[in-house]
């Protein structure tokens, strides 16, 4: 339905972070889900042309609250923020990008190597609720100092003995002479919705959730094609079983077959080397744009 013909009551609101590590990936996902819109770094919203929806650009930390309050129908934000703010929202899909770890970090020269050694220490963080629950579970008494940003600077400035913060690769910690001693949680971008979506939005939220699921599933898979001796088929099926079973076609060359299958992207090189050892040739690998289970 073109957006200009949509009933305003049926138009859904989709929120994504207005900046930061998730911004570009969110745009990419929405477009791969088939949404057509014009984005601008100075605009606070964008109307979707081919679906009755509006995209709003909000602070990532505010998004769970707006969804829980019923102001936003569908949103993308970090799992860490959903857990931190304890909002009643439904996690519809884990999206596979924006992966980070929430860790406890200490100065390299502190001599501290275990969480229990932080008893009585001061911890700087932007995640006080998650941190409080973590240290309470460990039965370690700490004083939490909530900071607005640049958490890594806190130990250098003498504000804290350690930190709890997100890290993707650990490079920022190392640059500030910090080291992780514990991982509290693993986070990634998630698609969230209301626990009780409004009637007018329910069907479109379901449809878009299915689209997101298909895009994310496809991003983790690759389509592979090869030629191989027919007598090697059983060995190849053990390496590339496919979604259920590989597609097999006889070639004009006697004793040769073509095999098509789907494999995990993470295993691609290992699978290719195994196939070569078995006798497969002409191996082709293609990305998959959408995959509906």
The secondary structure of 205-226, three-state, reads HHHHHHHHHHHHHHHCEEEEEE
Instruction: Compute, in degrees rounded to 10, the torsion defined by CA atoms 251, 252, 256, 262.
Output: -10
- Can you read off the two tokens belonging to residue 57? 């650009």
Residue 206 lies in a domain: yes
Q: Answer yes or no: do 39 and 151 share one domain.
A: no
CB atoms inside a 10 Å sphere around CB 248: 15
Output the pLDDT for position 3. Answer: 42
Instruction: Give the tens place of pLDDT for each residue, 252-293.
Output: 999 999 999 999 999 999 999 999 999 999 999 999 988 886
Q: Of all helices (H) and strands (E), which one includes residue 104?
A: strand 100-107
Q: Answer yes or no: do 165 and 39 share one domain.
A: no
Residue 209 lies in a domain: yes
Q: What percent of the chain has pLDDT over 90?
A: 71
Confidence of residue 1 (pLDDT cuts 50, 70, 90): very low
Residue 52 lies in a domain: yes
Q: Answer yes or no: do 93 and 205 share one domain.
A: yes
Q: Answer yes or no: do 85 and 26 share one domain.
A: yes
Q: Answer yes or no: do 195 and 54 share one domain.
A: yes
Rounded mean pLDDT of the chain?
90
State phi, psi for 124 to the nearest 5 degrees.
Answer: -95, 140
Residue 293 lies in a domain: no
Q: How far is CA 48 from CA 83, 158, 205, 260, in A?
A: 29, 48, 14, 37
Determine the Cα–Cα distance for residues 156 and 152; give it in Å rounded to an integer: 8
Which CATH number does the domain housing residue 22 bear? 3.40.190.10
- Domain of residue 146: give its range: 100-187
Residue 147 lies in a domain: yes
Residue 65 has pLDDT above 60, yes or no: yes
Closest CA to 275 of 219, 224, 218: 224
Q: Which has the minimum average pLDDT: 73-82, 125-134, 261-270? A: 261-270
Q: Answer yes or no: do 52 and 130 share one domain.
A: no
Output the pLDDT for position 244. Answer: 64
pTM for the whole structure: 0.84
Q: Answer yes or no: do 14 and 78 share one domain.
A: yes
Q: Answer yes or no: do 82 and 211 share one domain.
A: yes
Residue 228 lies in a domain: yes
What is the 8-class DSSP label of residue 273? H
Confidence of residue 157 (pLDDT cuts 50, 70, 90): confident
Q: Answer yes or no: do 179 and 131 share one domain.
A: yes
Q: Which of 218, 234, 269 delimits the end of a domain? A: 218
Q: Which of 187, 202, 237 delimits the end of a domain? A: 187
Q: Which of 187, 202, 230 delimits the end of a domain? A: 187
Residue 2 has pLDDT above 80, yes or no: no
Determine the Cα–Cα distance for residues 105 and 171; give it in Å rounded to an integer: 12
Residue 179 lies in a domain: yes
Determine the Cα–Cα distance for residues 224 and 242; give it in Å rounded to an integer: 9
Q: Answer yes or no: do 93 and 7 share one domain.
A: yes
Our CA angle for 250, 251, 253, nearest 5°, is 130
Which CATH number does the domain housing residue 262 bear? 3.30.70.120
Determine the Cα–Cα distance for residues 150 and 168; give it in Å rounded to an integer: 15
Residue 292 lies in a domain: no
Q: Answer yes or no: do 147 and 132 share one domain.
A: yes
Q: How far is CA 221 from CA 108, 208, 218, 288, in A?
A: 40, 20, 5, 7
Residues ≥6 apart with Cβ < 8 Å to 251: 227, 257, 258
Number of domains in the chain: 3
Q: Answer yes or no: do 110 and 177 share one domain.
A: yes
Q: Which residues of 108-145 are buried (b: 16+ CB within 10 A; e: fewer)?
A: eebebeebebbeebbbbbbbeebbeebbeebebebebb
Instruction: Give 4's strand partners.
Output: none
């Amino acid at each position: 339905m073109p957006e200009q013909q949509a009933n305003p009551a049926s138009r859904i609101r989709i929120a994504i972070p207005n900046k930061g590590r998730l911004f570009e990936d969110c745009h990419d996902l929405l477009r791969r889900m088939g949404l057509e819109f014009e984005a601008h770094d100075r605009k606070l919203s964008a109307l979707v042309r081919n679906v009755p929806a509006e995209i709003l650009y909000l602070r990532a930390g505010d998004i769970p609250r707006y969804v829980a309050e019923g102001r936003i129908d569908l949103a993308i934000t970090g799992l860490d923020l959903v857990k931190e703010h304890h909002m009643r929202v439904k996690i519809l899909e884990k999206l596979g990008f924006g992966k980070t770890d929430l860790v406890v970090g200490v100065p390299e020269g502190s001599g501290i190597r275990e969480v229990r050694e932080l008893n009585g220490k001061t911890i700087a963080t932007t995640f006080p609720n998650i941190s409080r629950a973590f240290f309470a579970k460990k039965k370690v008494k700490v004083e939490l100092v909530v900071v607005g940003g640049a958490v890594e600077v806190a130990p250098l400035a003498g504000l804290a003995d350690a930190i709890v913060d997100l890290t993707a690769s650990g490079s920022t910690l190392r640059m500030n002479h910090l080291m992780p001693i514990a991982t509290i949680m693993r986070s990634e971008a998630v698609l969230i919705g209301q626990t009780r979506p409004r009637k007018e939005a329910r069907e479109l939220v379901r449809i878009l959730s299915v689209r997101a699921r298909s895009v994310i599933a496809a991003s983790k898979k690759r389509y592979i094609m090869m030629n191989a001796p027919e007598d090697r088929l059983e060995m190849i099926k053990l390496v590339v079983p496919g979604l259920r079973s590989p597609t097999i076609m006889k070639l004009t060359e006697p004793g040769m077959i073509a095999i098509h299958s789907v494999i995990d992207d993470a295993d691609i090189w290992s699978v290719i080397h195994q196939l070569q050892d078995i006798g497969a040739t002409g191996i082709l690998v293609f990305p998959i744009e959408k995959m509906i289970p």
